[in-house]
Structure 1
């Protein structure tokens, strides 16, 4: 916009469509932003601050970040428009004076809007517009035509060719800015409706497939695992027919929010459909949602999220004063295992969800038969694990701790076993991870502490006292229940606390060192001993270690392996033994399997050993027999 000294605004002739040879030289126009100005014939109100609409781009990041391309064969006019739009807040202006070259740029750059001159040598604006509308990638791009031709025939022709808007030259810069803003605002609304679901605000099926395709391409390059979860909601149609569409939309919004919370969705609003920075939740059908999970460490992680979705989404909700219970069926498809393309992956996930829906109740399933079998086995084991607590199917076995010099039994470590009614003894490595994921580990840990205390009391009553060590899981330590459970177990069994050792790991303590010191001090105040398990495998700070009220360090089996021939392990063991002596800790080595290992550990001052050389973990009665003998010599 230009003004005279009286503050009158003047329209700008953005190069009427005259032959190039007849256009005036305009070097001075660049300096004062004027080009072929017609005389001011009608004064306009004195200058006032720009109206909000005219400066909308400066305050709207969506508009300000929009890319604007102008095709006009007069370079000075392109630069003039650039200046006006930059003043208005637009940051991405791309000028092109050669329409043939411009078509190549359009196909490569896909600007948000095109400003197009009509009368250009070599290739007219009509031809450019025709090619733009014929190109599948460009046909939806807004095009604002600027020309001095004001006859109805020209206007009709450009509109028939698909022009979005039409500006006559000379063009007032304020009008240009306003029309550009309105065109872009409409494009944003159109894109939103094209890419997002209106009731839930989630990406729609089209955006989900675009995002999935990009994610799968990246995953293929990096060798990553992805999964697509198809979440199908039953009874939506029934809800709509009973309470109306508004009630159904309210339910869908609530479900969308629940799914997003479970998946921690990285919805790429404002980042474009090609963004693949994280998971995406989308609505893919009237009663269907999808959750894309990129960069999985293992396919079981997808099953974990599916279980979390079932527990959350299936919760009842209040809809217009009525309790409504969603029915949830989840299908899981994995890439690259099931499919490597977006459409195919969605079909697999839908097929899996359909299979789940055919069964009664809520549930989830994998497209792959083998994965379905694994998932079903794991789900069955979790259910059986819950019943095992109620049915008393757990038992403790005890592995002796032996004095290195004499072979005298100085205590034991309690190790849990699950005596499955059909499978027999299930190894801890198979059910402990499931217990942790299912939230059962604290309950199991409480039982272990209680049973170990009761066994130690029985040995004490039999005249063969032995200190028993119990392992504590991180959730038990963090949740603040450990002190209460230990206190209750000791009181219930009538066991003096000096016969109980609580084993904790380095990582458990160092994740919250100050809180850990407080908990350990409280345990020590009861009279229990503290053992630091797997020492040397974590990230202990010696400064923190000095603060920890620890009684014993356990040398991890990884350092015992190869002794005495492995020079590195031998050096580490000597260092741990020396550190323990300096800090006043007892030291015990676990995983001792050979006489040579035991002899070396005794020679460097390791006070006790534990491992198969002396005894495997045995049932209580068998350990009681070992206690009566008192020594194990190998």
Structure 2
């Protein structure tokens, strides 16, 4: 019995153990299944999130690709367009013109290039500010777009524009279009309730009539534009064989000008500045003249613009100023001259250190700085007042006097005069000419003289040709006179006050003294005995 119960007990224990084991396994399996289900759910959610993320990322890629495409197109447009007027810029116009000319050559067509340059646009900027200038440029671009049709319109820079057209059949149509454009660009522009008067100069050329390439076409149109501006305002000029010959002559003269500087063919001439009451010579203004070996005397109005374009002004200035200071130094030392006046262009101020250049000339020639006057134009003041003030102050510190040339023809004002170290103003000949013609002209000159006196600025009157003008100026208190009444420009040995040869003797005596001190100065050719 006991054994039987023991066996049953053992069985029961095993059954219980198996039952507990089964229950543990069942529980473990349930936990595993629950965990697996939870992990499966998490994986599902993760996959769903990844799918959504991938979808969102794909949308963002598509959107960004679209944005980049728009930005690229915008960047390309900016690279091709002028930002102010939205016309094509110079670079893209040149490229487009090349394509247009290539197509025209293949099909036997014509291409006309029209260059437009606004007249006196700087005046609009100076008087109306850049806001007014921008309004004018935008309006001009609108008008160009309205007349160009299927052609190309561009802003080349500043106030320069260009058109390229392929639908004009002949030179007569070119001329008609150019005149229509002149008329369209002469209509006043509204700005702040005012009418701004504008006009433009136009030059045009066509291919194949005047050129065989786009670059030549542009160059010939530019020649025609130069002829228009030279002839006056509001004009249109087409390229001709005469212009081609003139351009060839101009290029030849440019080459000869380089040789002229090397050969020292450009020399100083002088015009006297006198005391209008006594007739005594006070000083001279230095004027450049070119003694060409077979052209004869070439006037500065011809060769100085060429020199400026070829960046030769500085070389000419140094050559002429050095010779002038060497020639005039003896007369200053003898008291025959109070001063010598030199003209300096705005481009020379922009190009470099004009003060250093002049200081070297004075040091080389021994000419006293206090006897030198530097004449500047109003363009220098109006273009960069800050730089002008700095450079002119440096010159003044050397003892050099500053004169404002052609006063009364530009936009100088009392503020700019008082801000700069200007000791003289040179009254323009256009105002002097009116002295014998009208009371209005006299009133203007009187006002200028009163203003100058208030600012302690001396006045030199230029362009005096009659005794009436001279006497009126003396009576008004202006005694520094310059003009044909007192003599035309000439080399120093032809001027009445230097014709007696005493300057030559004085120079030799001073040169000898310098040699004794260990310094040697060469005798200028113009003072040597022949």
- Distance verdict in 2 for CA 1:575–1:345, change over 3 Å: same
Q: Which of 412, 418, 425 is the aligned partner of 2:297?
A: 425
Q: Which of 125, 146, 162 is the aligned partner of 1:294?
A: 162
Three-state SS of the structure 1 residue aligned to 2:278 is coil
Q: Superposed, which structure 2 residues align to 1:230-629 within 5 Å?
A: 275-278=152-155, 294=162, 336-338=204-206, 344=208, 348-349=212-213, 368-460=240-332, 464-623=336-495, 625=497
CA distance in 1, matches of 2:239, 2:475: 58
- Distance verdict in 2 for CA 1:351–1:337, change over 3 Å: closer
Three-state SS of the structure 2 residue aligned to 1:401 is strand
Greater gyration radius: 2
In the TM superposition, residue 448 of structure 1 has moved relative to its aligned partner by: 2.1
- Distance verdict in 2 for CA 1:406–1:223, change over 3 Å: closer
In the TM superposition, residue 614 of structure 1 has moved relative to its aligned partner by: 1.0
Three-state SS of the structure 2 residue aligned to 1:400 is strand
Of stretches 607-616 and 536-545 in structure 1, the one that deviates more from structure 2 is 536-545
Three-state SS of the structure 1 residue aligned to 2:434 is coil
CA distance in 2, matches of 1:488, 1:426: 28
TM-score, normalised relative to structure 2 = 0.56
- Contact kept, 8 Å, 1:335 with 1:345, in 2: the verdict is no
- Contact kept, 8 Å, 1:592 with 1:611, in 2: the verdict is yes
- Distance verdict in 2 for CA 1:607–1:470, change over 3 Å: same
In the TM superposition, residue 626 of structure 1 has moved relative to its aligned partner by: 5.2
Equivalent in the alignment of 2:67: 59
Three-state SS of the structure 2 residue aligned to 1:563 is helix
Higher relative CO (Cα under 8 Å, sequence separation at least 6) belongs to 2
- Distance verdict in 2 for CA 1:62–1:604, change over 3 Å: same
- Distance verdict in 2 for CA 1:564–1:385, change over 3 Å: same
- Contact kept, 8 Å, 2:286 with 2:341, in 1: the verdict is yes
Deviations 1:550-584 (A, max 9, x none): 11111011111221322332222111111111111
- Distance verdict in 2 for CA 1:293–1:376, change over 3 Å: farther
In the TM superposition, residue 387 of structure 1 has moved relative to its aligned partner by: 0.9
- Distance verdict in 2 for CA 1:629–1:367, change over 3 Å: closer
In the TM superposition, residue 385 of structure 1 has moved relative to its aligned partner by: 0.7
CA distance in 2, matches of 1:57, 1:604: 78
CA distance in 2, matches of 1:395, 1:568: 40
CA distance in 1, matches of 2:52, 2:376: 80
In the TM superposition, residue 541 of structure 1 has moved relative to its aligned partner by: 3.1
CA distance in 2, matches of 1:484, 1:63: 50
CA distance in 1, matches of 2:73, 2:493: 76
CA distance in 2, matches of 1:465, 1:413: 11
Deviations 1:341-360 (A, max 9, x none): xxx4686448979xxxxxxx
RMSD: 4.2
TM-score, normalised relative to structure 1 = 0.47
CA distance in 2, matches of 1:526, 1:457: 17
In the TM superposition, residue 544 of structure 1 has moved relative to its aligned partner by: 2.3
- Distance verdict in 2 for CA 1:498–1:216, change over 3 Å: same
- How many residue pairs get aligned? The number is 340
- Name the structure where helix makes up a greater proportion of residues: 2
In the TM superposition, residue 481 of structure 1 has moved relative to its aligned partner by: 2.7
- Distance verdict in 2 for CA 1:390–1:274, change over 3 Å: closer
CA distance in 2, matches of 1:63, 1:585: 59
Q: Superposed, which structure 2 residues align to 1:71-90 within 5 Å?
A: none
CA distance in 2, matches of 1:223, 1:504: 26
Three-state SS of the structure 2 residue aligned to 1:588 is strand
In the TM superposition, residue 52 of structure 1 has moved relative to its aligned partner by: 4.8
Query: Mind listing any 5+ residue stretches in structure 1 that lack a counterpart?
Result: 1-44, 67-200, 225-271, 281-291, 297-333, 354-365
CA distance in 1, matches of 2:498, 2:459: 22
Three-state SS of the structure 2 residue aligned to 1:550 is coil
Query: Mind listing any 5+ residue stretches in structure 2 that lack a counterpart?
Result: 1-50, 75-93, 119-148, 165-201, 218-237, 503-530
Of stretches 521-530 and 474-483 in structure 1, the one that deviates more from structure 2 is 474-483
- Distance verdict in 2 for CA 1:577–1:629, change over 3 Å: farther
CA distance in 2, matches of 1:481, 1:204: 40
